[in-house]
Amino acid sequence: MTAQLVRHMNPTFHNELYFLGGRGPVGDALERDRLTVYYIPKAAPWALPKQAIYLYKILKKRRYDILHLYGLRANCLGRVLGRISGYRRIIGGLRSIHPSGNQGAWALWLDRLTFGLSLGYVSNSQAAIDFLAAHGYKREKFWLIYNGIDTARFSPKPEETRLAIRQKLHVPMNKIVITCIANLRFPKGHQYLIEALHQLKERVEDFVVLLVGDGPLRSKLERLVDDLCLSEQVIFLGLREREEIPQILAITDVFVLSSLREGLSSAIIEAMAAGCPVVATAVGGTGELVVDGKTGFLTNPRDPEFLAKKIDYLLADHQLRLSMGIAGVKRVKETFTRERMVSEYECLYEHIFDS
């Protein structure tokens, strides 16, 4: 979302981006868009002082108006070094419920220890604000700005295009398509989705499931699919280019996300924008996206039986799928557009600069 933000901000805002680490696909894409990108050499824990000195020199030299930090290491380093360098306008970007991806108590302690050096966090979900406020953070030091997407990318595709996509992905023409887009990692809860599909297969057989993404659990999940005799239903598509996601969603009848924890899922926003009803676990900010019973269904985490029941309910009712899909498109266009997100960030930056 940061990349989308800086690409589309008003030209009166000059952005420079720094990555704590080596080059990657995100940085390369930003450079192709002629944005200013720098890379701070990646440092092992014992070499952190070297990285800190490098960053301190940059901050002293460049004198930015606002320092916006993402990630635990960037926030902790940036807050301390920013203050030492004379910066007053320091904010953080919160992309999950927890400030750190590993969810550790030590990370929460470290983040809270340095949080007072900043003006606050910009969170993409109310759930994250509520979580951190319950852990001692001052609620008044948060701003809520929802993620936004380019809705035009997910406009409906004509029938001949959808048929061509099915052929390309080897998806049977007569099957209902269920899609899950998520890294194959434990927090995404794929195990429970596969167990739900096993139960679903006992009641309905004319469906196929597209698992988009890759990760360390792929081989384990493939074995589970084989053990549960779901190899004819489940297709592992692996990692896909960003441009392919709208195509996959165009042939999707039901989108499912069985996560154990989430921030604010861009995958769900994109699925709703494409007109897909969503079945997702009620974790993190998901309840701020999916209106239960209107744009999809919310289920309990780690509950494959309940998940299977809600998917089955949608598979059996074509008209309900259509009405929920239409409601989802409307909700995204009202609340989760890129234009709205960019405008709210621009207003926030102007407010911080003028304060």
Over pLDDT 90: what percentage of the chain? 77
CATH top-level class of 151-335: alpha beta
**Pairing mode, strands 207-212 and 176-181:** parallel
Phi, psi of 177 (to 5 degrees): -105, 125
Closest C-alpha among 177, 350, 154, 181 to residue 257? 181
pLDDT at position 43 is 64
First to last CA, the chain: 26
pLDDT at position 29 is 84
* Unique residue bearing structure tokens 């997910």: 154
Bridge partner list, 299: 281
CA distances from 13 to 10, 58, 65, 102 (A): 6, 19, 10, 33
**Pairing mode, strands 67-70 and 16-20:** unpaired
pLDDT at position 4 is 85
**Cα 129 from chain centroid (whole Å):** 17
What residues contact residue 340 under an 8 Å CB cut-off, 6+ apart? 146, 148
Tokens standing for 305?
A: 């039986």
- Any idea where the domains of the chain sit in the sequence? 2-148+338-354, 151-335
* Unique residue bearing structure tokens 């006992």: 202
Q: What is the total residue count of the chain? A: 355
pLDDT at position 47 is 67
pTM: 0.93
Same fold for the domain at 2-148+338-354 and the one at 151-335? Answer: yes
Cβ distance 212 to 181 under 8 Å?
A: yes
Give the DSSP letter of residue 292: B
CA distances from 234 to 60, 193, 228, 242, 312 (A): 54, 11, 11, 21, 16
pLDDT tens profile 192-238:
999 999 999 988 879 999 999 999 999 999 999 999 999 999 999 99
Tell me how far apart the alpha carbons of residues 282 and 304 are, in angstroms, rounded to a whole number: 13
CA distances from 161 to 171, 212, 254, 321 (A): 14, 20, 19, 20
CATH: 3.90.1480.20, 3.40.50.2000, 2.30.38.10, 3.90.320.10. Which one for 2-148+338-354?
3.40.50.2000
pLDDT at position 46 is 67
* Segments of the chain scoring below 70 in pLDDT: 43-47
Burial of 4 (0-12, 13-18, 19+ CB in 10 A): middle
